[in-house]
Structure 1
Amino acid sequence: MAGSEISLDGSRVLIADDNEQNRELLDAYLADQNYEIMMAADGKETLAIVESNPPDLILLDIMMPRMSGYEVCEKLKSDPEKSRIPVLMVTALNEMGDIEKAVKSGCDDFLTKPVNQLELKTRVRSLLRVRHLANERDRLLAYLEEMEQQVLQSKG
């Protein structure tokens, strides 16, 4: 794969924000990227979507009803099956304490509102590439382990 461009087309991006206008804006900013966009209006809905149709990336607001973005992120990062889903916090909160709390909750990156479209696209693309490469590494490691077992069995 060295030297070749990673295709991110069809990557599943979950936009979780209680404000419909914010969800629509982020969706519009990413519209030309060929991602599959899913939306959630609160923390509990976010977790339900992650359970039923795991995304490749979550854009997560902090201030949401039923469960804050901090709580959602902590739950995801404490679950071994979901902990590798990148979380990009997108929030109006921009005090250093808010950023520190977001990082402690496990987020992978942080953007403050109002969001710059180029910055959003760049960070989303970067996090999706990391996710894709980690998945590819896991696939290759599983393949190598399988090949190793076959070699050991053929010698035994």
Structure 2
Amino acid sequence: MSDIQKHILVVDDEQEVTEQIKRALIHSFNCAVDIAYNGKEALDKMEKENPDPYDLLILDILIPKLNGMEVCQAMIKDQTLMKIPILLVSILPLNSDDFQKSLNKFSELAMVRDVLEKPFSDDALLAKVKKIIGQKVEPQ
């Protein structure tokens, strides 16, 4: 495994979810995890980290202040932020019409690498994160 520490931003308005993700990531990866509870806070944190951006953004679609789509649209306008890969998280069932409409909007955004449906297991989360950032998962 690489000794370079990954820096991940988790954005979700549910504290239970952010804590689950943070625990799983810290336990299994060499990473630092920051948390934001709304879209505006997420953009503020990403801009603060610029020009050394996050390695991954785990982003809930349905968040307050700025939703997931609005966060992505703001990121596209910044040459550094638009390079951050995104794992979308959604409580909408992946096969629902509402989710498919949202996904069609996101599909044009190259930085969206994968989608995870809530509720999810730590194993499902870690498999998707590993695929995106290419790091080995530590044995649990």
Query: Does residue 124 of the first structure (1) align with residue 97 of the second (2)?
Result: no
Give 1:73 shift: 1.2
State the identity as a percent: 30
Unaligned ranges ≥5, structure 2: 136-140
CA contact (8 A) 1:70 1:105 kept: no
Matches within 5 A, 1:73-88: 73-88=72-87
CA contact (8 A) 2:75 2:82 kept: yes
**RMSD between superposed Cα atoms in Å:** 1.9
Matches within 5 A, 1:34-73: 34-53=30-49, 54-73=53-72
Taking structure 2 as the reference length, the TM-score comes to 0.80
Residue identity matched to 1:103: S
Q: Which has more helix, going by share of residues?
A: 1
- For residue 13 of structure 2, the aligned residue among 18, 22, 31 is 18
Q: Which has more strand, going by share of residues?
A: 2
Unaligned ranges ≥5, structure 1: 1-5, 131-156
Query: Does residue 99 of the first structure (1) align with residue 103 of the second (2)?
Result: yes
Partners of 2:64 and 2:24 lie apart in 1 by 24
Give 1:119 shift: 2.0
Give 1:39 shift: 0.3
Taking CA–CA contacts closer than 8 Å with sequence separation of 6 or more, which of the two structures ends up with the larger relative contact order?
A: 2
Aligned length: 125
Partner-residue secondary structure (3-state), 1:15: strand
